[in-house]
Amino acid sequence: MNGEKPKGKLYWRSLDELADKPEFRAFVEREFPAHASEWFGASRRAFLKVMGASMALAGLASCRRWPEENLAPYSHRPANRMEGVPVHYASAYELGGMGHGIVAVSYDGRPIKVDGNPSHPLTGRSADIFLQASVLNVWDPDRSRHVTAQTKSGTETQDWQKFTAYVKQHVKPNGEGIVFLSEASRSPTVAALRKRFGAAKWFEWEPMSCDNQRAGALAAFGRPLRAVPRLDAADVIVSIDADLFFAEPLSIKFNADWAKGRMLRDNDHAATARMNRLYVVESGFTITGSTADHRRGVRPSQIPGVVAALAAALGQGNAKVATLDPSMQAFINAIAADVKASAGKAVFVAGSRQSPDVHAAVAAINAAINAPVDYYADPEDPRAEQGWTPHSEHIKAFAQAAPSADLVVVIGANPVLTAPRDLKIDEILRSKSAIHLGQYVDETARECLWHIPQAHYLEAWGDVRTFDGTVSIAQPLIEPLFGGKSTIEFLSALSGQDEAGYDLVRATAKEYIPGYSEWNWKQALFNGVVANSARAAEKLSPNVANLTAAISRVATVPAPAGGEGYELALYTGMLYDGRFANNGWLMELPDPMNRCAWDNPLLVSPNTAKKLNVDSDQVLKISANGNDIEATVYILPGHPDNVLSLAVGYGRKGLGTIAEEVGCDGYALKSTKDGSYIPVQVGYTGKVNPLACVQQHHMMDLISDLGKKRMEAEVPLLVVEGTLEEYRKNSSLGTRKVVSLSMFNERSYEHVHKWGMAIDLTVCTGCSACVVACTSENNVPVVGKAMVYKGREMHWIRIDRYFKHNADDPQAVHQPVTCMHCENAPCEEVCPVAATTHSAEGINMMTYNRCIGTRYCSNNCPYKVRRFNFFDYNTGEMATHYTPNILRPDIDDLYKMSKNPQVTVRMRGVMEKCTYCVQRIENARIKVRAENRDHADTVMIPEGMVVTACQQACPTNAIVFGNLNDPNARVTKLHALNQNYGLLDPELNTKPRTLYLAKVRNPAEGLDPQWYDDERWRSKGFFFEEKPGEEGAEKPGTPPGPDNPPGE
Amino acid sequence: MTAIPSDNLQPSPYGIAERDNTFNNPARRSPLVVGNSASFHAITEKICYVAEAPRPPRAWYIAFGVAFVWMCMLGTMLTYLLFTGVGVWGENRPNMWAFGITNFVFWVGIGHAGTLISAILFLFRQKWRTGINRFAEAMTIFAVCCAGIFPAVHVGRAWFAYWLFPIPNQMGLWPNFFSPLLWDVFAVSTYATVSVLFWYMGMVPDLATFRDRAVTKWRFLLYGLLSLGWRGSNRHWHVYEKAYLILAALATPLVLSVHSVVSFDFAVSQVPGWHTTIFPPYFVAGAIFSGFAMVITLAIPARELFGLKDFITMRHLDNMAKIILVTGSMVAYSYLMEWFIAYYSASPFERFHFMNREFGNMFWAGWIMFGCNAIVPHVFWFKWFRQNKWALMIICALVNVGMWFERFVIIVTSLTRDFLPSNWHWYYPSYVEVFTLMGSFGLFFTLFLLFCRYLPMVAMAEVKSVLPQADPHYHPDHLGHPGASGYAGELTPAERH
C-alpha cells in the first residue's frame, strides 16, 4: 500500500480502501506497530493514561481478532480430486532390500492405508504386517523432525542449508575418503547415485539379512544368487528352520504359493483331492511349524547335522553323518522317502538365519532332486562389484575401514543397535565425523555428528527392485511432514548437487523402462510395476564337486562347545529388526504363537523351564560375550529343549513413546563369532514382569486341572480338523450341522444382498496380516500394555491359538475369530437401547451414537468378539488412561491424521466390533448405483467389488467375503462345501454368517501317530455322536432352511 | 442419652416378668409391646423422644461420622469414574460386568425385606410386623437408592443412561423391549416408587404426631408439610386404611416380580451359569434372605441405641431368624438343584461351569457363597442362636457376605470362563470398585441414621393398634375372661399379676 497501487486483480475490503482516501491511509498507519514512533516524547503520565485505556479496551479489542485462515478454493477441480473420496496410488516399499509393490489409499492428501499391488510379483493384492503397519510410521510424532548436529554445547538443531554447506566443505568430488554404511537397497536410482562416489567405500548391513542364502549359492554355484523356491510347484516342502510364513523376505509369496497347493474347495472331486505336504525342522516354534503337517523342534546347533542326515538319506554327500536319535532319524527317512517319491516336485528351504554352509548344502540337495527353485542374480547389489561377501562379513569390513575414513555416512541402518557389539560401531562413529540419515533419532543417530531426518517412503520419490528384478516406482502421497530427505535426495546433496527426488528417479527410469516415453513412465506409475523389467531366472550349470563339498561341510560342523548349554536364537518378531519399534500397531499385535503383545518374551520349552526352575513371567538374566540382558520367560509348549528364543528390536531407550523400554535387547548379546545362535549362560534375577498375553498362559487351576481338561474336550469342536485321507473318504470331516427350527418368522433376504464370510482354516497360517489390516482400516486404537494385560485390547479380529496333544510335542492351530454376524445374534436381543441391530442385508450393526455402554451384548456374545472402549483411547495420551478426561494431555494431532475418515472414531464408553467393513460395502453400493441410475434400487453389487480389509490382506485367500444371494459368488460356493461349520452353532443356534472350513492336514502315512491317531482329538462331538460307519449321521452341506434356501 | 421421662406413663398391664418371655415358653406368644411401653402414651413418648431429644446419643454421632466419610468416598469414586471411564474399574473382556452389577443385585436384594414385611405380612395379618415395618421399609428405600446408583454409573456413557427410559423423542427411537435390562428399569423404578409411596403414606399419621408435638417453628413447618394436613379424623383413617390396603396389594406382587426381573438379566442370557430357569424364585428367596439379615443387622443396634427394646422385642428377632432359616433353606435347595440340573442337562458348558465354580480358579468365592448361605443359617434351628444378639449379628453379617458373593460368583465366575477357551481371562477388582462398594454402605448408613434421627422409626399408630388396649373388647379388669382380649386369654392366672 505504500503509495503504489498493487498490480493484478484488486480486492478491496471497504469502500474507503477502494477510494484509497487519506483517512484510510492514516487508519492503516495507526494500526501497524511500525508507526509506534508516535510514543516518543509522551510523558510518563500520558503513557500511563494511554496504557490504562488500552488495558480497559483490550477486552473489546479481542472481540475483533479473527482467526487467520487461508482459503484456497478451487476454481477448477483438479483431476481425480474429490473431497472425501479416497484416491489410490500405486507405490513401492522396500524392506531389507526387497521391493514390495503397494497400493496406498489417500484421503484428501493423507495416506491412511497400504495394501499389496495385485500386479506385483511378490505381494499380489495382499500385504504382510510390516507393510500394513508401515503407514502408521508416517504419522509417528516421534519421528525425527530436524537436522541436528553435535556441537560442544550438545545436540543443536540445524537446517538443511547448513548441512549442505558442511557437505560442500568436507566432501571431495568422487567421494574420496568417505565410508558408507547403508541399509540394503535395491533401488536403481541409489545404484546410479552410488557411481558418483567412485572413490568411496560402500558397505551394506541388514541384521535380519537373507544373505546367507546367497552365500550358500555362492558356495554351491559360484555366484551369489537369490534362491526363490516355487512352493506352488512343490508337492513336498521341507523347511529347515525357515519361518516361511512370517519372517522370510518372500513370506507373502510363500504364503500364497503354499496355499495354492492346499485349496480343498471342490467337494465333487473330494475323493481325488490333492494337497502339498509341509515338513518343518526348526529351532523355535513358529507359525510355519504350527501349520506344518510334520514338525520337529531341534537345537540350532543340530540343524547342520539334520541337513547332512537329510542329504545322506537322499543318497547325497559322502561324508560321515553324526548319529541322530532314532525318532529324528525316522523322521528324516520319512522325508527322504517322500521327496524321492515326488521327484522334481519337492523343495528344501533353509531359513535366513542359517549359516552359509547350511544354505549351500540345501542348494546342493535342491539341485540334486531337481527342485522347483529359481535363482536370480542381483546386479544392483553394491557388493557385486567388489567381491561379494554376506552382510555379516560386510559389517566387519566396515568396522575395519571406517576408522581410517575422513567421513562416515550411515544411511538408514542402525548398526549401533543391530551390529555385533564386539565391533564397537558406536565408538567408531563417535570418533569420526559421521552423518546419519534415518527416520528416528536412534542409537546410531546419537553417536553421529550429523543427523538428517529421512523421509518416509510415502513422502518421497524412489524406486526399488524386487526378487526377480521387477522395478516399482515409489511416488509420494504427501509432502515430507518433517522436512525429511529420501536416500536419493540425500545422496544427491552429498554429491553437491541437491537434485529433487522426482528428477533423479526419472533420470534412472530412462534406463529401466523399456522404450522410455512419457506414456510409459505414466503407465509404470499407474501400474506400480515397470512392465517387462523382470529378469529371467538364471540357468545354472552346477559343479558336482562343489555340491558334494557343500554337503560334506555341514556334516563336519563341530558340535557346540557348550555341550548341553543353552542356545539363544534371535528371531524376527513383530518389530522386524527393530525399525518398527515405535509402531503401535505392531507393538500391540500379539505374537501368533505366544500371544504376547508389548514384549519380547524369552521362549523356552516346558522341560527347559522345569530344568531352570522358572515359570512364565519370571525374569532371567541371560549373559553372553560379556553382556547381559534381563528377559522374561514365556513357556511355549513345543519349543525345543535347551533353546531360548528371543525376538529382536525391543528394549529400546529414547527412541519414542511406544518403544520406550519395552522388552529387552537381544542384539546386545551377539558377537561376530556367533552364527545362527548364541551360546548363553542363564542366571536368575528374582524379578517378575507380567506379560501382556491375550490368551492366558496361566491356565493352570489352583486346585485342579479342570480348565485344561475342558479345553481338551472343547477345542476339537471349535477347530474341526481332519486329514486329507479322511477328507477324501468323507468331505464333511465330522463337522456338525444343525437343522434349527424357529418359532419366529425368519428374516427374509429376497432381492437384497446377504453378506457372508468363509474362513478356510486349512490355509490359514496365522500370519496376522488380517489383524493389522483391520486395525488400519477400522481405526482400531492402540491401548498400551497395561490395557492388553487387563484384557482390554481392541482388535476386531483376533487369531486364537490352541495347542493340542501333549505339551512336549504339541501341534498348534490358528483360528481367526471375528464377529460372526449371527442370524440369531445374542447381542442384539439384550441391548436395552437397541444400539446393535440387524441390517436388512444381514449384517449385525453397531450404532455407536446410540450405545450407552451397558456391555450386556459382550456378556451374551459367546465368541467375545465385541470390544469396549473402557477409556477415551482415541483422544488422550496412552500413558494417561487413568487420568480424568479434562486433565489429560491431548493425543498428538498426527495420530488423528492417521484415521480413516470413513470409519467413526469411537469415544469412551461405547462398544465396537467387526462390521464386515461396511464402509467398503457402501462405497461399492454408491458406485454401482451411480453407474446404474435407471435401476439403482434393484441393482446388486457384483462379486469382487467388496473386499474386506482382512480378506484383502490375507495372502493365502483363507478369508472370503461376498454376497450369499449371488450363486456365483465364491463365498456362496464355500458355504456350500461339506467341511463347513459354524462356530458354536450346534450348541447355541446362533446361525453365524461367518463359517469356517475345517482344517485339513496332509500327514505322511504312519508318521507322527501321536498327532494323527490321537483319539482325544478325533472324538468329535458329544452332542451328536457320530457312530463309525453310520452314513445317516452325515448330512451333505447345510440343510435347506430359511437361511439357505434350496436350489442355491 | 438422657433417661426417658417416665413419671406420667401408664403402668403396664403386665408385670416385669412379662417383659419378654419369648424364649421362656414358646408355646405361648409374648405380647408385641412389652414392659412399661405397652400403653398409648408411652409409645408416643418413647418413639417421639428419639426424634425430639435435644441431641442424639454419642454413638449416633460416631456412626454418622463414619458413614458420612464413607459416603463422601462414594462420591469421590463416582466422580472419578464418570470423569475418566469405566476402565478405572477392573472389568475386562470377558468380564464385562463385575462389582457394579454385583452391588446392584445385592442392594436390590437387601431392599426386599421391607416391602415383604410391610405388604405381604400386612395382608397376612401378621401383627408382629408393626414393630419393625417402618424402619425395614426405610431400609428398603435406602437400599434401592444404593442399588439405583450402580446401573446408572456402570454404563460407559452415564450421561446417556436416561435413554433406557422410553422417552418420546423426535427420532422415534425407543428402547429395545426384548432386553432384560429394560425390564429391570421398569421393575426397579416401579418398585422404588411403590416402596416410597407405601413408606411415606404409612408415616403420615406419625408425622402428624411429630407436628403436633413440635416446639420449634422449623419442626412445625417441616413436619406440618410432610403430614399433609392429617387431622386424624374418622374419614382420614377410613381413607388411609383403604389406601394402605390397596398399596399393600399392589406392592405384594412387586416383591416377587422385582427380583424375578433382575434375575432375568442372567436367566435370559446364554452364559453358562446364568442361563437357568430356576433363577426367578431362587433370586426372590435369596433377596428376602439377605433383606431379613440386613433388618436384623440394623435392628439390634437400633433398639439398643434408641431404647426400642420394648417395641422390637426378642420375639421379632426370633421371627426374623426363622424367616432367614426358611429362605436360607430355599437358597440351599436352589444351589443343589443347580448342580443337579447342570449334571442332568448334559450340557458340557453347564457342567464345566459348576465344576469350575466349586473347584476352579475362583473356588474360594464359590465356597464362601455356599458356606455362608446354605450352611451357616442352619444354626438358627437352635434357640440359643436366635436369642443371642451377638450370634444373630454375626450370622446375619455372614449371610450378607454370602449373598454378596452369590451375585459375584454368578456374574464373575460365569464370565471368566465361558464358551471359547481363548477368551478365558481373570478378573481382579480395582481399588475404585472396592471403595465404591464400601462407599455405598456409607450412603446407606448415612441415610439410615438420618432417618433414625428425624423420622418416626417405629410406626406409632400401627403399634398402638396392636396393643391389647386397642381392642374394643379390651377390659383390663376382666383379664382372663375368654374373649376379653386376644392376649389375655393366653395368660395363665398365675402370670397375670
Please, what is the average pLDDT of chain B?
86
The reply to whether A884 touches chain B by the CB within 8 Å rule is yes
Distance of residue B434 Cα from the nearest chain A Cα, in angstroms: 16
The residue ranking higher by pLDDT, A848 or A85, is: A848
Angle at A793 between CA A792 and CA A796, to 5 degrees: 125
Q: Which of B84, B90, B155 sits opposite A884 (nearest CB)?
A: B84
Range A792-815 average pLDDT: 89
> Quick check: B81 and B436 in contact, CB under 8 A?
yes
Taking CA–CA distances from A909, the nearest residue in chain B reads: B156
Alpha carbon distance A202, A487 (integer Å): 14
pLDDT above 90 (res B324) = yes
Distance of residue A255 Cα from the nearest chain B Cα, in angstroms: 25
Taking CA–CA distances from B185, the nearest residue in chain A reads: A832
Taking CA–CA distances from B346, the nearest residue in chain A reads: A1023
Q: Would the CB atoms of B94 and A858 count as touching at under 8 Å?
A: yes
Q: Which of A706, A791, A830 sits opposite B181 (nearest CB)?
A: A830
Residue in B93, B150, B361 to test binding to A, most A beta-carbons within 10 Å: B93
For A269-287, the pLDDT digits (tens) are 888 989 999 999 999 999 9
**A residues 697-736 near B, CB within 8 Å?**
699, 701-704, 706-707, 710-711, 713-715, 718
In this prediction, residue A943 carries a pLDDT of 92
| Residue-by-residue DSSP string for B9-73 | PPPPSS-GGGS--TTT-TTSPPPSS-GGG-SHHHHHHHHHHHHHSSS--HHHHHHHHHHHHHHHH
In this prediction, residue A56 carries a pLDDT of 59
pLDDT above 70 (res B233) = yes
The reply to whether A879 touches chain B by the CB within 8 Å rule is no
How far the first Cα of chain B sits from its last, in Å, is 31
For A375-410, the pLDDT digits (tens) are 998 878 888 777 888 888 889 999 999 889 889 999
Range A821-835 average pLDDT: 92
Indicate the pTM of the whole model.
0.87
pLDDT above 60 (res A528) = yes
Distance of residue A985 Cα from the nearest chain B Cα, in angstroms: 12
The number of helices, as runs of H, and strands, as runs of E, in chain A is 34, 38
In this prediction, residue A26 carries a pLDDT of 59
The residue ranking higher by pLDDT, B465 or A28, is: B465
CA atoms within 13 A on the CB side of B11: 6
Residue in A852, A885, A907, A912 to test binding to B, most B beta-carbons within 10 Å: A852
Q: Would the CB atoms of B155 and A718 count as touching at under 8 Å?
A: no
The reply to whether A696 touches chain B by the CB within 8 Å rule is yes
> Quick check: A568 and A283 in contact, CB under 8 A?
no
Residue in A710, A819, A873 to test binding to B, most B beta-carbons within 10 Å: A710
Residues of chain A positioned with their CB less than 8 A from the CB of B180 = 830
For A153-194, the pLDDT digits (tens) are 888 888 889 899 988 888 888 888 899 999 999 999 999 999
Residues of chain B positioned with their CB less than 8 A from the CB of A798 = 422
Q: Would the CB atoms of A909 and B356 count as touching at under 8 Å?
A: no
Q: Percentage of chain A with pLDDT > 70? A: 88
Please, what is the average pLDDT of chain A?
85
Residue in B171, B357, B420, B425 to test binding to A, most A beta-carbons within 10 Å: B420
Q: Would the CB atoms of B175 and A854 count as touching at under 8 Å?
A: no
Q: Percentage of chain B with pLDDT > 90? A: 54
In this prediction, residue A17 carries a pLDDT of 53
Q: Would the CB atoms of A706 and B360 count as touching at under 8 Å?
A: yes
Distance of residue A852 Cα from the nearest chain B Cα, in angstroms: 5
In this prediction, residue B475 carries a pLDDT of 66
The reply to whether A801 touches chain B by the CB within 8 Å rule is yes
Distance of residue A890 Cα from the nearest chain B Cα, in angstroms: 14
Q: What is the DSSP-derived secondary structure letter of residue A790?
A: H
Distance of residue B431 Cα from the nearest chain A Cα, in angstroms: 12
**pLDDT band at A863; cut points 50, 70, 90:** very high
Which pairing describes strands A959-963 and A755-760: parallel, antiparallel, or unpaired?
antiparallel
- Tracing cell 477510494 back to the chain, one arrives at A19
For B399-412, the pLDDT digits (tens) are 999 999 999 999 99
**A565-574, A791-800, A855-864, B125-134, range with the lowest pLDDT:** B125-134
Residues of chain A positioned with their CB less than 8 A from the CB of B97 = 855-856, 859
Q: Would the CB atoms of A911 and B155 count as touching at under 8 Å?
A: no
Q: Would the CB atoms of A792 and B361 count as touching at under 8 Å?
A: no
In this prediction, residue B336 carries a pLDDT of 94
**pLDDT band at A58; cut points 50, 70, 90:** low
Residues 6+ apart with CB under 8 A from B377: B289, B324, B325, B328, B329, B395, B399
Phi, psi (degrees; rounded to nearest 5) at A277: -130, 135
Q: Where are the alpha helices (DSSP H) in A5-43?
A: 15-19, 22-31
In this prediction, residue B63 carries a pLDDT of 94
In this prediction, residue B327 carries a pLDDT of 94
For B58-110, the pLDDT digits (tens) are 999 999 999 999 999 999 999 999 999 999 999 998 999 999 999 999 999 99
Angle between helices A544-555 and A303-313 (to 10 degrees): 130
Residues of chain B positioned with their CB less than 8 A from the CB of A852 = 155-158, 160-161, 163-164
Q: Would the CB atoms of B86 and A863 count as touching at under 8 Å?
A: no
**pLDDT band at A604; cut points 50, 70, 90:** very high
CB-count burial class (<10 Å; 0-12, 13-18, 19+) for B226: middle
Distance of residue B320 Cα from the nearest chain A Cα, in angstroms: 36
Q: Which of A718, A850, A908 sits opposite B156 (nearest CB)?
A: A908
In this prediction, residue B28 carries a pLDDT of 61
Q: Would the CB atoms of A706 and B359 count as touching at under 8 Å?
A: yes
Q: Would the CB atoms of A870 and B94 count as touching at under 8 Å?
A: no
Alpha carbon distance B487, A227 (integer Å): 106
For A96-148, the pLDDT digits (tens) are 889 999 999 998 888 999 999 999 999 888 989 999 999 999 999 999 999 99
Q: Would the CB atoms of A710 and B421 count as touching at under 8 Å?
A: yes
Residue in A859, A906, A908 to test binding to B, most B beta-carbons within 10 Å: A859
The reply to whether A863 touches chain B by the CB within 8 Å rule is yes
For A980-1007, the pLDDT digits (tens) are 999 998 888 899 999 999 999 999 988 8
In this prediction, residue B18 carries a pLDDT of 44
Q: Would the CB atoms of A791 and B181 count as touching at under 8 Å?
A: no
Q: Would the CB atoms of A832 and B181 count as touching at under 8 Å?
A: yes
In this prediction, residue B141 carries a pLDDT of 92
- Tracing cell 454413638 back to the chain, one arrives at B59
pLDDT above 50 (res A1032) = no
Q: Which of B88, B156, B347 sits opposite A868 (nearest CB)?
A: B156
* Cell representation of residue A142: 516421534
In this prediction, residue A780 carries a pLDDT of 93
In this prediction, residue A57 carries a pLDDT of 55
Alpha carbon distance B50, B57 (integer Å): 9
In this prediction, residue B469 carries a pLDDT of 76
> Quick check: B274 and B342 in contact, CB under 8 A?
no
* Cell representation of residue B427: 478378573
Range B23-35 average pLDDT: 66
Q: Would the CB atoms of A714 and B421 count as touching at under 8 Å?
A: yes
**A696-710, A886-900, B14-28, range with the lowest pLDDT:** B14-28
Cβ atoms within 10 Å, residue A706: 20
In this prediction, residue B13 carries a pLDDT of 46
Distance of residue B124 Cα from the nearest chain A Cα, in angstroms: 37
Range A602-610 average pLDDT: 91
* Cell representation of residue A297: 523342534
Q: Tell me, what's the ipTM?
A: 0.89
The reply to whether A858 touches chain B by the CB within 8 Å rule is yes
In this prediction, residue B497 carries a pLDDT of 43
| Residue-by-residue DSSP string for B200-252 | HHHHHHHHHHHHHH--SHHHHHHHHHHTTT----HHHHHHHHHHHHHHHHHHH
Q: Where are the alpha helices (DSSP H) in A171-286?
A: 188-194, 211-221, 251-260
Distance of residue A575 Cα from the nearest chain B Cα, in angstroms: 24
Residue in B96, B167, B349 to test binding to A, most A beta-carbons within 10 Å: B96
Distance of residue A821 Cα from the nearest chain B Cα, in angstroms: 17
* Cell representation of residue A325: 536319535
Rg (Cα) of chain A, in Å, rounded?
31
Q: How far is CA A269 from CA A729, A977, A1005, B414, in A?
A: 11, 12, 21, 45
Alpha carbon distance A500, A494 (integer Å): 13
Q: Would the CB atoms of B163 and A870 count as touching at under 8 Å?
A: no
- Tracing cell 463422601 back to the chain, one arrives at B72
Q: Would the CB atoms of A703 and B363 count as touching at under 8 Å?
A: yes
Alpha carbon distance B90, B436 (integer Å): 12
**pLDDT band at B496; cut points 50, 70, 90:** very low
* Size of the A and B interface in Cβ pairs below 8 Å: 200
Q: Would the CB atoms of A860 and B160 count as touching at under 8 Å?
A: no
In this prediction, residue A1009 carries a pLDDT of 85
Distance of residue B188 Cα from the nearest chain A Cα, in angstroms: 15
CB-count burial class (<10 Å; 0-12, 13-18, 19+) for A96: buried
